[in-house]
Amino acid sequence: MSTHSIATSLFFDLKTRIETRQARVGVIGLGYVGLPLALLYTEQWFRVTGFDIDGQKVAALNSGESYIYRIPPTEIQAARSREFSATADFSRLTDMDAIIICVPTPLDEHREPDLSFITNTAKAIAPHLRAGQLVVLESTTYPGTTEEVLVPILEKGNVCTLKAARSGTADAAGEFFVAFSPEREDPGNQSVARRDIPKVVGGLNTQASELAATLYGAIFNRVVPVSSPAVAEMTKLLENIYRCVNIALVNELKLLSLRMGLDIWEVIEAASTKPFGFQPFYPGPGLGGHCIPVDPYYLSWKAKAWDFQTRFIELAGEINSAMPYHVVSSVSRALSQQGKPLNGARVLVLGVAYKKDIDDLRESPALTIIELLQKDGAQVNYNDPYFPSIGKGRHYELHMKCVPVEDVDKYDCVLIVTDHSDYDYRWIVQHASLVVDTRNATRGIHGNNIVRC
């Protein structure tokens, strides 16, 4: 049999296995992206194995428990009944037909891309690769990562001299398939079902694209193929930079509106009545989450290799990064107007998640705000129904425990950073001596003790 016919056989065999739900799917990284994805595949009766280096996550899932608030244990238990399991044993990747990588891509201390999770994962996969497997990267990253970083590690580290399938490859018998498909998770979004979010896919060659489209088409209602992994990588960056830039714009307009004595929320509401050419974005205490505060810096870093400066993107990043400092200044001014200095003041921060009604701390502006308040001498406590405690993260070390929201009357200032639906804001305003609101959570509530910033 010729190498061409072997390669064709590998392609059609995997495509058929996916279409008939016989393919085994491995998902690496069982966090806010990987776990929901794995559950979608189990719902369609794929045999799914989740891989993670965190033994506590593996043990919880194999016991039918959940560690993500929006995923109830019943969903884990239902997946277990459909042969879902979790493991830290990466040698089991050999048994998988498709391997999907959902690991973090944070920034380092210099605000440059930290690809260590991708590179370490690729090194863990490589020894267990076999011909005919499909490897898909979902982690948000700069254009070129799949081809320039992931593929070389996979090719170099496997023991069978396998190569990623490309156009014109000579040794087609020893190939695996590679694609990129950006995750589009939106934690807390209840208005759009996961399977209704179109899935962009870009393969290293046409066969890889078709396999990835078939794989994702089994669980998503629409798949959008693009010409290459780099196009798919750039697509995700455009989506998030679009939001970052527009949030920066409205944050800057908020600062101007405060000086002019205007209510930016009323302005946005009025502008939103225009039926074309306008999409509302809202100001806040800073950006948080796994994508918007991070992704622009990935593209800015990559652009330097092309001798290109992304001035617009970098300016948006500066504006958004400055918002926690604006919040702390507003707290200081509000306290000063009551004859109290920030140094020594008791401040209660309401909400530390990066947005309302989720249990996600990643890049939350609340963490920066707490650190800044403490640096200025404030005695800071917090309340958040989703976080009984805060420990140590990549860029913070707070070691704090949640205090009762009922104690708002014991503080010099109550600072609303995350507008969780669980809070009774009218009651809070009635019992707090001073409320500084960064989210317009107290809209419609009147009180001389409210400062909106």
Q: Is the pLDDT of residue 294 over 90?
A: no
Cα(127)–Cα(130) distance, rounded to whole angstroms? Answer: 9
CATH superfamily of 3-227: NAD(P)-binding Rossmann-like Domain (3.40.50.720)
Residue with tokens 């296995």: 17
State what percent of residues in the chain have pLDDT above 90: 86
CATH 3.40.50.720 positions along the chain are 3-227, 243-452
Region 365-373: what's the mean pLDDT?
96
Residue 174 confidence (pLDDT): 82
The better pLDDT of the pair 141, 110 is held by 141
Per mean pLDDT, which range of 34-38, 156-160, 345-349 is the poorest? 156-160
Active-site residue, from 244, 291, 413, 453: 291
CB 423 within 8 A of CB 352: no
Residue 309 confidence (pLDDT) above 50: yes
* The most confident of 4-18, 301-315, 368-382, by mean pLDDT: 368-382
Query: Residue 80: its pLDDT value, please?
Result: 97
What does the pLDDT read at residue 5?
A: 55
pLDDT at 265: 96
More confident residue, 337 or 9: 337
Task: State the pLDDT at residue 331.
Answer: 98
Go through 68-81 and write b for each residue having 16 or more CB atoms within 10 A of its CB, e for each that does not. bbbeeeebbeebbe
Token code pair at residue 83: 């042969």
291 given a catalytic annotation: yes
Query: How many other CB atoms are found less than 10 A from the CB of residue 271?
Result: 11
pLDDT score at 170: 41
pLDDT (tens digit per residue) in 386-438: 999 998 877 778 889 999 999 999 999 999 999 999 999 999 999 999 999 99
**pLDDT value of residue 3:** 52
The confidence score (pLDDT) of residue 67 equals 95
pLDDT digits (tens, 9 = 90+) for 22-46: 999 999 999 999 999 999 999 999 9
User: Angle at which helices 73-81 and 34-43 pack, to 10 degrees?
Assistant: 50
pLDDT at 7: 59
Q: pLDDT by residue (tens digit) across 46-83? A: 999 999 999 999 999 999 999 998 899 999 999 999 99
State mean pLDDT over 330-352: 97
| Window from 156-160, 354-358, 424-428 with minimum mean pLDDT | 156-160
Output the pLDDT for position 292.
77
Which of 174-183, 236-245, 288-297 shows the lowest mean pLDDT across its residues? Answer: 288-297
- 2: pLDDT strictly greater than 80: no
Q: What is the rounded CA–CA span in Å between residue 241 and residue 236? A: 9
**pLDDT higher than 90, residue 290:** no
pLDDT, average across residues 280-290: 91
Q: What is the mean pLDDT of the chain?
A: 94
For the domain 243-452, what is the CATH superfamily, name and number? NAD(P)-binding Rossmann-like Domain (3.40.50.720)
Question: pTM of the predicted model, to two decimals?
Answer: 0.91
Provide the percentage of residues in the chain whose pLDDT is more than 70.
97
> Rg (Cα) of the chain, in Å, rounded?
24
Instruction: Decide: 353 and 370 in contact? Cβ < 8 Å.
Output: no
Burial of 54 from C-beta contacts in 10 A (0-12 / 13-18 / 19+): middle
CB environment 199-236: b (16+ within 10 A), e (fewer): bbbbbbbebbbbbbbbbbbbbbeebebbebbbebbbbb
